[in-house]
Structures are given as C-alpha cells and as structure tokens.
Structure 1
Amino acid sequence: MVLVAVAGGGYLYIKNLDDNIRGGDLHSGIDPKAVVAPAKPNAQGQTPLNILIIGSDGRDSAADCELGGACSTAGGLARADVEMLVHLSADRSNASITSIPRDTVVDLADCKGSPKGRHTLINASLNYGGPGCVVDTWQKLTGISINHYIMVDFKGVVDMADAIGGVQVCAKQNVVDYKVYTDAQGVRHEEGSGLVYPAGTRKITGVQALEWLRTRHAWEDGTDIGRTHAQHLYLNSMIRQMKSLGTLTNIPEMNKLATTATKALQVDLPLKHSGITGMLSLASQFNAVKPERVTTVTIPWHYGPSVNGAQPVLLTQPDADKIFTQIRNDVPFDKNAATATATTATPTPAPVATVSATPEQKAAVDISVQNATVDGRGQQITDFLKSQGFTKAQRDTSYVAATPTKLTYPTADKAQAEAVQAALGLRASALTPSSSASHLTLVVGTDWTKGTDFDSTAPTQKAGLPTGTDFQNGADATQCMQVYTGAHYADGRPIYTWTGSTPPKVPQAKG
C-alpha cells in the first residue's frame, strides 16, 4: 500500500510539472527555404542535437512589466533580443553555444501571418511569427536543422537565477547601467537595465541576474556585442557551478529546478510532449559534457553602411558560413580532446563514380545551378559544366539559404546525375533523388567555396574556429567584463561607472 501511495504521488508530481510546461509550434511552416534536412548520424548511429535558446523582451504580463521595459505589447513589441544555438555533438563529448548579435540584418523567414520578404534585424523574427519564426529564420540563414527551442522571458530569468542559487560573475570596474538624458524635444529619458555592481567577483541572483544579462550600453564598447559577452560569461559560470554542485544528481535541488523551469520556459510542442523527463534528459546530456569541451562563440560580424543614422550589423563572410558548416558537420569548436579531429572528422568518402557519358548524353542533361555560398560560384560552376559538354546548364539566380552542396534529380534520371557527379567530383552523399523534380538542380554549397573539383578542393574541417573569432571556453573561470568608460555627461562625470565605496542609487530603468 505504501508503494502504491508513493508511486501515485510520484505520478501526480510529474503530471503537475508536465502541465506547467507551455508549448508552441517548432516551425512557422510556410517558407520552403527554411526547410533543411535533419542532421545525419555518425558511424555509431548517433545524431547531434541543436536547441535554439530565445530570450524574449515581451512585457505582456504584470510580472514582466514590473521587471522593466515598456509595459505594453500593443502592436507586437516582443523581440528575440537573445538568440543562442546550443549544439550537442553526436557523441555528446563536446558542445557549443553560438550567439548572433540581435541587430544583425538578415532575410527573415516568410512566416505565417507576417509580411513576406522582410530584410531586417533578426530579433524582429519573434515579433513577426513567434518562436517558430525565429527557428525558421535560423534554419534559412544557416542551413542547420534545429531540433527544439526554449524561450524564456524576464520573469523566467529571475526565477531560474534564484532556483540555481545564483551565478558568480566578474566586472573589472564598478558598473552602473543607467543613463538620464533629455532629447531635442525636451523630453527626459531613463535608459539602461538598472544594474549596479561593484568591481570584482561575486554571486548574483534574481533581479540582479536579469539586470546583468540585459545590460547593453555599459559593457566594453557600449554596444550589444558586450552584452553577448556578459551573457556567455554568465552561462559558462552557471555550467561550472551546476556541475560542481551536482545539481542534476541532487534530488531536492533537481526538484526545485524542475518546478521552476517548467513554469519559466516555453518550449516547442515535441519537447513539451516529452514532458519534464524529456527536458531533464536534455539537461543531463549537456551536463555530461566537461566544461573545457564547451565553447561559447559570437558569430563573426561587422558594421554595415549607416542607414538613417543607424549602423546595421552584418555577418562577416566566409567566416560566418565556416562556423555554420562546422555545426552542420558536427565538427567541434574546441581542440581540447586528444582525438577531437579523429573522432569527429567526416569519414573518408567513397570513390566518386566514373561515368563514361557520351557528348550526346551530356548535351541532353537539363541542369540548373544555384549558389548558396560566396558570390560568383554559381556562374563559375555553370561555365565549367558547359565546358565539359553539359551545354544545357543554366545559372539559377533564385535565393538559396546556406546549405551544403547537393544535387537533386528526378528519380528516373540517376544516370544523368551520376554523369554530373563524375564531372564535378561530387560525393555520393550529395545526390538526392526526388519524385517531384522536373530536372537536375545543383546547389553549390558553403562546403565548396572554390575550384571545380569538389572532392579535391573541399578539405575535411578540423576542430577549432576561424582566426579572430570571438569565443570563450567553458572552463575559463578568469573571465571578467570590461566596463565602457568612454561615455560622459556634459559635466565630465562618467555615465557607466563610479568611484568610491558607496554604489549609486538608481531607479529600475524602463528600457
């Protein structure tokens, strides 16, 4: 009888947690360019896992409104100001957390109920189509198949910070993220997260944790890039803390965390249907990765030409595509495994088929060439195919999302596809039969940026990141944020730092 009661109580507890979880569609469902193939398993049959973390600035609840920002979502003000892709390797030996600056200008996915063809800031994707639109925009941009999303709002950040007992962070100088100014119309404004933090290392909880994660103007160069670095520092510290305390193996602590997480997060419907057991399984898989095998990285970026006084953020190529390709190919960002390249490198491809096609057979092949990589590649490969006798080859200038090289062909035209494969040195894995295809379509992908022989010019990627990429290692406990000291009020006082031992008192900022 006691066992029945315990089992019944456990069932009710788990059901209560499952009922707490809010779910939504994983995809917006209408943009074919956002549809990418699932990740392929490795030699052991294991598959990588990609989870998009979304931080919403929505203020559509009293709790969120109380914590700062405009207290209205009239007109749709929710933006995805934090977007991070968590990648767990197929063998679960390493992981990465990749951020994209919120002001990066991209082609948003065409999402259900929203305007099509939007070329704007990536954080607007949440406004235009919910979290499923954020997922589709990432897939369209990167060619990476995303398995799940997890979205958290202001109140959720506060609750989660308290549930894990706070997170240790560091600032090199005293920091205050609060600015008062009067605009040209004489209207007084308050700006900033309201963070007040003395220099040094200490643990932050609750509202202060939210302020740390929201602080933008007071870090580094005063832009959103500094905020991304502060978020990475926080995440790395949290990972080390949870592992050192054994949070996921401590039943009382795990129960507290699970209860808070199910109330604080919104997830995709497949993850919601897996319930708290599925969410804990994901957490356990990530927790199994050693901190020194976790890398947080910001996608390479640069400022574009000023538009109406604002400087958009653009992705720096080809480095951004190299990182996207590494994630798609499950190549680790770190070099801390003794056999990192040996265990994760792409297997040696099977020999390319040698097809002896006649000039007449080549001339009969109807093939379009699309470009999903660096400028000019579509025309280069089209010209090469024509020089090899494929005189019907035509360049297709349609937009194609970043993707690996692939050759799609009608099922009945396998011989023609193999003739093109032989001419270009394509690997067998690039060939995709389609019952709906009317002719051959070659997409020159991000894994083929030069040359006309794919197999000889597309070397296997090695562990590591492109030179100059901004990253942090999860085991580095010395990370400390630099405060932006270059901004001053008219009377010479610094805006984002202070001197002395008494921290300034500021109201919680609204914006």
Structure 2
Amino acid sequence: MGRSGVRGERSRPDSHAEQAGGAGESGWDESLYEDAPEVGGAGADPEPADRRRRARRRAGSRPKRRRRRILRWTAGVLAVLVLGTAGAGYLYYRHLNSNIKTDKLNLGDKQAAKPTPNAAGQTPLNILLIGSDSRNSKENLKLGGHKASVGAPPLADVQMLLHLSADRSNMSVVSMPRDTLTPLPKCTDPETGKVYEATVSRQMVNTSLARGGPGCTVATWEQLTGIHIDHFMMVDFSGVVSMADAIGGVPVCVDANVYSRNSSGEGSGLKLEKGTTYVKGEQALQWLRTRHGFEDGSDIARAKAQHMYMSSMVRELRKNATFSHPNRLRSLAEEATKALHVDEGLNTVKKLYDLSNELKKPEPDRITMTTMPFVYVGARVAPKEGAAEALFRLVRDDVALDGKDKKKKAEDEVSDDPAAADADIAVQVRNGTRTATLAAVPGRASAVAQVLTGKGFTQTVADQAQSQVEDETVIRYPSADLEGDAQAVAKSLGIPLSSVKKSTDVTGVTLVVGADWRTGNAYPKKSVDDDKVLDKEQTQNGADDSKCMKVEQGYSW
C-alpha cells in the first residue's frame, strides 16, 4: 500500500548525497512516523516483516543521527567563530588604518628622476625617516622641551635616508645633521595653500618641516642629493617612546657611566651605567636625543648613537620576528600605526606590512649606516664638496656602501653588444647643467656635440630644447641593441660606464651634459674615490654589536 503524500514529502532526502545512500545512512528516524495511519485502513497492522525492518532501522539510526546533529552543530559553531573572527579582524584592520596619519609625499615643484630598473626589472627603494621635535601635545611636551615651545613650528631634527638596493641584497642608511646648511626649495602647504618660495641663501635643513610638512623635507633632500624618494615615515617624541615599549627594549652600550645633564640644565637626562643596557620608553627617547654626553657633544655624535640604536633594533626585531604572544604583536601594530605619519602611498596596514617584508630581506651584515660627509661652517655644517656628492652618487647608482658588490658591478659593466662604427652612431646631446641655484650654461649642448663630432661621431646633434636638471652627466639608451653604441660614446669622452643607463625616456643614444661638466672639453675626473667617501668613524655595520658610545668628559658619574 502506498504512503500518504505528507509522509512522502517529509521523507524527501536533504541532498543528492543523502539520496544516494539509504534512509538509515542519512540519519532518518522511521519512528517519527510509526503512528501515522496507512491509506486504505486506519490503524491497519503492518506486516511482521515490515515491523522488523522498522525496528532494525530504529536501532541502527539513533547513534548516527546524534553524530550527524553534533557535526551540524559543530559546523555551525565553527562558521560563527570564523565569521566572527573575520569580522573582528576586518574591524580591527579598519581601526589600525584609521590610526595612520598621511600627507603628500613631495611638496616641491620639481622631483628627482626615478632610478632606471636593473636587468631584472627591479628598482631600489628610498625612504626618508624623519624625527619631529614637535611639542604641540601634552605627551610630547612632557618628554622634552619647555612650554615656550608649544605652538612653534616643528623641526625635522632627525633625518635619515634608508636606501634598499634593487635586488634587496643590501641596505644603506645616510644621516644628515639637523643643522646642515642648504638652499630650500619652493614648497606649497597642502592644507592652507601657502607658498614658501625657494630660498637663495642657505638655511638649516631641519626648518624644511615647517614649510608645509614632511613633503617639503622630502623635496629638500631630492634637491640636494638628486635621489628620488619613494616614501617618508615620520615619528614624534611620544611615538618613539610607545614604539620602544612595544618592541620590548633595545640594547645600547656606553664605555662609562653617563648622565646627560650639565650645570646649565642642558642635556637629555639619560643616565646609564657602563656597559650594555636595554632601553625602552622614555629612556630610549633620551638615548636618541642625547648630544651632551656623547663623544664631542655634537649632532654628529648624536647621529652615531642613533645608528647604534637602529642597528640594535633591527637585530632585536629579526630575533623576535615571530612574536609568540598575540597581545605583544597587537600592541606593536597598535603603537606603530599610532606613531607613524607617512605619505599617501603607505596609507594602509597592508602597504606597511608589504614594505616591512621588503626591508627585512637584507641580512644585518649587509646594512651600512653612515653620516653625510660635512665641513663646519661656524657652528653649523655644510655638505663636504666632492665627498658628499660622491656618496649621493653611490646611492643614486645603487652601489652598496659596504663595497661587497663592486667586483660584480665591474664585471657587468662592459656590454656584450658590439658597437657600430663611430661615424654610424647617432647621438643627441642635451643641456642638463641647470641646478637649484645656478642657471644652465648657454650653448653647452652644442659645445659638447662639437667635441664628439671631432672624435668621429659625425651623426651627433645638439638638442636646442629647454635645458633640464642633471646633477651628473649621463648617457641613456632605449634598448639592448644600442648599449654597445652608448658605451662607445662614454669611452671616447672618458665618462665612466656606470653613467651609461638604459631608459625608456629616450629614443636613441642620448648624452645629457650634467652640472658636473659645466666647462671645458674634457670630462672632469672624479675628485673623490668611492673607497674614500665614507668616514670610518661615522660608519657602522648592522651586524656589529661590539661598539659602545664614548662618554664625553664631564658627563660621567
């Protein structure tokens, strides 16, 4: 006898998988329906065989039904937990993003040229690290300065250029003393629209921050060094303290007991015993700000102490790269996003995380920290002629400051592409002698074009278009089949092969006469050898944990 339509609907399998198996396999309990009357006679007794089959089904179905219910309940709970965690994670991610303060990268009206990709298509990464002395908050005022400082324009008292090589094998960090004298570029405040005109006289580089924000400090660096900057990261007093606490402390060393405070009340207040101490919080800030008490009491000594701190911090972060304690990792993320003021290209946690993955690629022994070569100008300093430019050129050319890739670069210099005959090589010459402070030399492209023609490059022409800015003479070529031709031009003029670069900005071999060759028919030889650019006293290796800061006489206890 057939069953009722109602029973037929209720027995419909939930899925194709259940349909493939039996009712018992699916956890279907026949006892749910045993009191239902059969069609054709209310209360009619089923056959004994049917009764036995139902009994067997009931006996075998209950444990499986319970297991199935448990599985369904567990799956439901897991789904809620996963969705809840994902939701919380997304909300926390949004919260961290909201912590990040951003500003425009470059407020100047001119930008340095981007570096040419290497053979593998990789480009270096340049990040300007800025330490602001802003005291426009209760937290910052408590950590340094006096009430008269409140409301005053902030100064960029710490400036370091972090250069990550194109192949990510090495890193260079170059500090510039805060009182370095240099002309400042034209900058426009993005909030008020106020225009700060370029200065003719030299000003202290740390005042650039007050001319619209960190983007003006970036523009100042690009004008002075010719190095294209990809990002900036700025932090103030309270940010340094919170970050140091989140990391858990950084080891630093002094060769004697030190107390940075003199009879006039000058000094950071740092007080340490001889040897190594893990500094964190306010003590970490004191270390980074100490000038009175280290070596000769100058900003140069302070930069050296900052390099020591950064090297130690890198080693600590690498050692604890996988924080096992979730709260510690969360604390670091929270404090880092609150502390940082970055450019718009680093406006999310993901972008900062991706950047951190790039920065951790070089091993500590391939990290070199140094200070820009300088000369004293009264109580201030200025870039040392020749040496400072040579250092900037090494960074622009992506040459490791530790010297470990020089042999490789020398082997790679000479092209395998055979050069055409000199008379068959078409060369365009451009005038790039204009600088931030000097006008272009009139007729310079024509003068150098005549020199090349006299050397047999009879297809040379001078580009009479408006002059451009090029700190150093460079020869560019668009494709591999012209590399040999470009190098032939360089050899004929005595220009180093490192100045021959592939570029999609040109359509043929193009010689740009730079500010380093404003006069004369012969290309000037470099006055400073690369090996002599770095001051060993001001240079540190990231893996060296043996150094201690020398304590200045009169500041020991």
| TM-score (norm: length of structure 1) | 0.76
* 1:100-139 correspondence to structure 2 within 5 Å: 100-112=176-188, 113-118=195-200, 119-139=202-222
Deviation at 1:195, TM superposition (A): 1.2
Partner-residue secondary structure (3-state), 1:236: helix
Residues 414-456 of structure 1, C-alpha deviations (whole Å, 9 max, x = no match): xxx9999897477764888689xxxx994325699998369xx
Tell me which of 277, 293, 296 is aligned to 2:369.
296
The more displaced of 145-154 and 112-121 is 112-121
CA distance in 2, matches of 1:170, 1:418: 49
Identify the structure with the greater helix proportion: 2
Is the CA contact 2:183–2:198 (under 8 Å) kept in the aligned structure 1? no
CA distance in 2, matches of 1:109, 1:315: 17
The more displaced of 208-217 and 316-325 is 316-325
Deviation at 1:393, TM superposition (A): 7.9
CA distance in 1, matches of 2:472, 2:367: 25
CA distance in 2, matches of 1:157, 1:341: 39
Tell me which of 460, 470, 474 is aligned to 2:542.
474
- AA aligned opposite 1:129: G
Q: Which residue of 2 aligns with 1:452?
A: 522
Please identify the structure whose Cα radius of gyration is greater: 2
Is the CA contact 1:143–1:403 (under 8 Å) kept in the aligned structure 2? no
CA distance in 2, matches of 1:298, 1:322: 13
Residues 173-220 of structure 1, C-alpha deviations (whole Å, 9 max, x = no match): 221111233xxxxxxxx3221111122111111001101100112211
Is the CA contact 1:321–1:446 (under 8 Å) kept in the aligned structure 2? no
- AA aligned opposite 1:175: V
Is the CA contact 1:142–1:403 (under 8 Å) kept in the aligned structure 2? no
- AA aligned opposite 2:556: T
Matched, 1:278 2:345: no
Q: Which residue of 2 aligns with 1:28?
A: 107
CA 1:433–1:164 in 2, change beyond 3 Å: closer, same or farther?
A: closer
Residues 230-278 of structure 1, C-alpha deviations (whole Å, 9 max, x = no match): 0000011111111122256875543321111000110001111xx1111
Matched, 1:219 2:297: no
Q: Which residue of 2 aligns with 1:314?
A: 382
Is the CA contact 1:76–1:127 (under 8 Å) kept in the aligned structure 2? no
Q: Which residue of 2 aligns with 1:13?
A: 92
* Structure 1 residue ranges without an equivalent (≥5): 182-189, 409-416, 486-493, 499-511
CA 1:52–1:449 in 2, change beyond 3 Å: closer, same or farther?
A: farther
Q: Which residue of 2 aligns with 1:405?
A: 474
Partner-residue secondary structure (3-state), 2:187: coil
Q: Which residue of 1 aligns with 2:397?
A: 329
Residues 143-172 of structure 1, C-alpha deviations (whole Å, 9 max, x = no match): 111110000000000001100001110111
Is the CA contact 1:370–1:378 (under 8 Å) kept in the aligned structure 2? yes
* Structure 2 residue ranges without an equivalent (≥5): 1-78, 189-194, 455-459, 478-485
Matched, 1:148 2:221: no
CA distance in 1, matches of 2:410, 2:146: 46
Deviation at 1:348, TM superposition (A): 3.3
- AA aligned opposite 1:114: Y
Cα root mean square deviation, aligned = 4.1
CA distance in 2, matches of 1:191, 1:294: 33
CA 1:418–1:282 in 2, change beyond 3 Å: closer, same or farther?
A: closer
CA distance in 2, matches of 1:325, 1:449: 20
The more displaced of 110-119 and 292-301 is 110-119
Partner-residue secondary structure (3-state), 1:479: coil
CA distance in 2, matches of 1:419, 1:287: 39
CA distance in 1, matches of 2:207, 2:146: 16
Deviation at 1:76, TM superposition (A): 4.0
* 1:237-276 correspondence to structure 2 within 5 Å: 237-247=312-322, 252-272=327-347, 275-276=348-349
CA distance in 2, matches of 1:217, 1:71: 21
Deviation at 1:4, TM superposition (A): 1.5
CA distance in 2, matches of 1:301, 1:428: 29
Is the CA contact 1:325–1:446 (under 8 Å) kept in the aligned structure 2? no
CA 1:133–1:60 in 2, change beyond 3 Å: closer, same or farther?
A: same
- AA aligned opposite 1:38: K
Deviation at 1:81, TM superposition (A): 0.6
Q: Which residue of 2 aligns with 1:370?
A: 433
Deviation at 1:225, TM superposition (A): 0.4
Q: Which residue of 2 aligns with 1:179?
A: 262
Residues 378-417 of structure 1, C-alpha deviations (whole Å, 9 max, x = no match): 7999765555669998999x99573553689xxxxxxxx9
- AA aligned opposite 1:194: G
CA 1:367–1:158 in 2, change beyond 3 Å: closer, same or farther?
A: closer
Is the CA contact 1:106–1:121 (under 8 Å) kept in the aligned structure 2? yes
CA 1:389–1:99 in 2, change beyond 3 Å: closer, same or farther?
A: same
CA distance in 2, matches of 1:248, 1:135: 33
Q: Which residue of 2 aligns with 1:166?
A: 249
- AA aligned opposite 2:311: N
CA distance in 2, matches of 1:280, 1:5: 23
Tell me which of 473, 484, 493 is aligned to 2:552.
484
Is the CA contact 2:470–2:513 (under 8 Å) kept in the aligned structure 1? no
Matched, 1:55 2:121: no
CA distance in 2, matches of 1:11, 1:271: 18
CA 1:452–1:433 in 2, change beyond 3 Å: closer, same or farther?
A: farther
Partner-residue secondary structure (3-state), 1:145: coil
- AA aligned opposite 2:306: Q
The more displaced of 108-117 and 126-135 is 108-117
| TM-score (norm: length of structure 2) | 0.70
The more displaced of 37-46 and 127-136 is 37-46
Give the number of the structure with larger relative contact order, counting CA–CA contacts within 8 Å between residues 6 or more apart: 1
CA distance in 2, matches of 1:449, 1:481: 45
Deviation at 1:122, TM superposition (A): 0.8
CA distance in 1, matches of 2:325, 2:519: 49
Aligned residues: 447
Deviation at 1:221, TM superposition (A): 0.9
Residues 338-369 of structure 1, C-alpha deviations (whole Å, 9 max, x = no match): x66427976535566656499xx99xx99646
Q: Which residue of 1 aligns with 2:414?
A: 348
- AA aligned opposite 1:468: D
Deviation at 1:87, TM superposition (A): 0.9
Is the CA contact 2:365–2:543 (under 8 Å) kept in the aligned structure 1? yes
Deviation at 1:67, TM superposition (A): 0.8
